[in-house]
Amino acid sequence: MNPSQQRKTILIVDDTPDNITLLATLLRDRYNTKVATSGATALQIVASGTVDLILLDIMMPEMDGYETCRRLKANPATSAIPVLFLTAKSQPEDEALGRSVGAVEFLRKPVNPGVLFAHVAAHLS
């Protein structure tokens, strides 16, 4: 990476601490990371600072990933941020719904680090 380029910031949204730890550990050498354990917190973080990409879990209490993504895409200030769903859900209709609310990718857990890096880099370029 060109040192003059600012490191991109990725928001990790997941209600499972182990998943957050894994993703933050994988990404920390290449990116700045922020963490939210709920959709509501994710929306607050995005509203208060720069986020370049969001890794979003679907199955969370209160506000699920689909609703979080809908709200991000409905807000002109956050609609351009790429959202990648990271989920254990594997049915075609889950992926179709994810794409219909604005997600650019639908990655399955457990995530393959190489696949994760490739998709993240593609959407940040």
Quick check: 4 pLDDT over 80? no
Mean pLDDT of 55-80: 96
pTM of the predicted model, to two decimals? 0.94
Query: Taking all residues of the chain, what is their mean pLDDT, rounded to a whole number?
Result: 93
Q: Which amino acid is at 85?
A: F
Query: Per-residue pLDDT tens for 103-123?
Result: 999 999 988 999 999 999 999
Contact 41, 73 (CB under 8 A): no
Kindly state the average pLDDT of the residues 69-76: 97
pLDDT of 93 > 50? The answer is yes
In order of 16, 19, 29, 74, 108, the CA distances from 88 in angstroms are 12, 11, 25, 25, 6
> Using 50, 70 and 90 to split pLDDT, how confident is the model at 5?
low
pLDDT digits (tens, 9 = 90+) for 34-56: 999 999 999 999 999 899 999 99
Domains and CATH numbers, the chain: 9-124 (3.40.50.2300)
